[in-house]
Amino acid sequence: MPEHAIIIGAGVMGCAVAHRLLEAGWRVTLLERSLPGAESSAAAAGILGAQSEVSEDGPFLELCLASRERYRQFARELEEATDISVGYEASGVLEVALNPAEGRLAAGRAEWMLARGLRVELLDREEARRLEPALTTAMVGANFYPEDHQVDPVALSRAQASLVARLGGKFLSGSHVQGVAVVADRVEGVRLGGATLGADVVVVAGGAWSTLLDGLPPLRTWVKPMSGQILQWITRPPLFRHVVYGYKGYVVPRADGRVLLGSTLEDRGFDKAVTAAGLNRIVGMGLELVPALGEARWDQAWAGLRPSTGDGRPILGRGPLAGLFFATGHFRNGILLAPITGEIIRDLVTGRDPGLDLTPFAP
Ligand SMILES: Cc1cc2nc3c(=O)[nH]c(=O)nc-3n(C[C@H](O)[C@H](O)[C@H](O)COP(=O)(O)OP(=O)(O)OC[C@H]3O[C@@H](n4cnc5c(N)ncnc54)[C@H](O)[C@@H]3O)c2cc1C
């Protein structure tokens, strides 16, 4: 009988880990209290922002770059196996500076990225508008990150769940795990409905709820929810094609004319409210960056809970108890970090070397 892994949570992280463990010959059960991909993973904008999202050189940047490098292949693998398009678009991200102070920030960011050997194009206003004519004339310039791409997270989550099921993964949707079952210094399964469900390893991938589980040992940091609201409009035909990143938010055009505008960053517990003030801020930000969006049609709005940690780093790797692993706390970058996270946890569980220094992310 192959070894058995239980994964708590079937968002992008749980499914990415399941996918790789199934390929490695493990038996996998995913326990999900709702539906696969129902929470933060379905709420995300899908920017693969290894450069646009990261503010300094270091281990977190390395992790993001390693995952970004894998994305095209990861998307292709999912699409070939499931026939579901995950909306991978090599759109590039334009980080727009609206005033001289933002221009100085952008120049400083470009400087360290170029020193690190990353691709950045520093564009003045005319060059930026030649690349993306829909951009506001009221800007001083933009950094262009041609290697930051995008996916559609809802489609990605569906494709992941479909692939995991095809590989033989067992989903128990509607299963709320109460905690991990610990015997001596080893995790032997999870507590579910008053009984223990046994496994050789347990992977915690419960997003913003990850550290509410009973029986967890003390960790480096805890996970807490940070809400983000997103607004979706429709433009037909599409008005622009690059992801536009400002210092107050971003605007993401999909190839089919949908445009996502985001996002807020709110500490409001597990409340996923869409608020008047939040939407007002997002609309103002979006129209400032791309004024032509004033003619876009309203479609829908939603909010999701990012799994944030006290120190801004994910919780990734082998836990302080034997048999316990963590794939959580990816905050604003979980869509980007799904491919590398799946591989890292597979390698640790199966005794291989993941080839990356995981010390900064240790549980
Ligand atoms: C508004 C917004 C915009 C974002 N934009 C981007 C972006 O552009 N790019 C990017 O890379 N990232 C983005 N993110 C971040 C990204 O969405 C998250 O980092 C990522 O989805 C986290 O995935 P996860 O699988 O850890 O969590 P989730 O998707 O939240 O999945 C966790 C799952 O665990 C389940 N669960 C929890 N506890 C239990 C339990 N006890 N028993 C059973 N099941 C349980 C939940 O029901 C849930 O389905 C954004 C997030 C938000 C909210």
Query: pLDDT, tens digit, for every residue of 308-345?
Result: 999 999 999 999 999 999 999 999 999 999 999 999 99
Centre of ligand 1 from the C-alpha of residue 140, in Å: 35
**Is residue 41 in contact with ligand 1, taking CB distance under 6 Å?**
yes
Q: CA 317 to CA 96: how far, in whole Å?
A: 36
**3-class secondary structure, 161:** helix
Mutate to test the pocket of ligand 1, among 40, 54, 231 (most ligand atoms within 8 A of CB): 40
**Is residue 103 in contact with ligand 1, taking CB distance under 6 Å?**
no
**Is residue 132 in contact with ligand 1, taking CB distance under 6 Å?**
no
- Average pLDDT value for the chain: 97
Q: Which CATH architecture has domain 4-83+153-222+310-361?
A: 3-Layer(bba) Sandwich (3.50)
Beta-bridge mates of residue 173: 32
User: What are the residue ranges in the chain where pLDDT is below 50?
Assistant: none
**Confidence (pLDDT) at 219:** 96
**Is residue 228 in contact with ligand 1, taking CB distance under 6 Å?**
yes
* Pairing status of strand 141-145 against strand 93-97: antiparallel
**Confidence (pLDDT) at 237:** 92
Other Cβ atoms closer than 10 A to 194: 6
Centre of ligand 1 from the C-alpha of residue 1, in Å: 32
**Is residue 33 in contact with ligand 1, taking CB distance under 6 Å?**
yes
**Is residue 339 in contact with ligand 1, taking CB distance under 6 Å?**
no
Sheet holding 201-204, edge to edge: 170-173, 27-32, 4-8, 201-204, 324-328, 315-318
Q: Which protein residue has the closest C-alpha to ligand 1 atom 52?
A: 44
Domain residue spans in the chain? 4-83+153-222+310-361, 93-146, 224-307
CATH class of 224-307: alpha beta
**Confidence (pLDDT) at 2:** 78
Q: CA 168 to CA 61: how far, in whole Å?
A: 34
CA dihedral 344, 8, 218, 39 (to 10 degrees): 90
Centre of ligand 1 from the C-alpha of residue 165, in Å: 20
**Confidence (pLDDT) at 122:** 97
pLDDT, tens only, 174-219: 999 999 999 999 999 999 999 999 999 999 999 999 999 999 999 9
**3-class secondary structure, 284:** helix
Contacts of 217 (CB under 8 A, 6+ apart): 319, 320, 321, 324
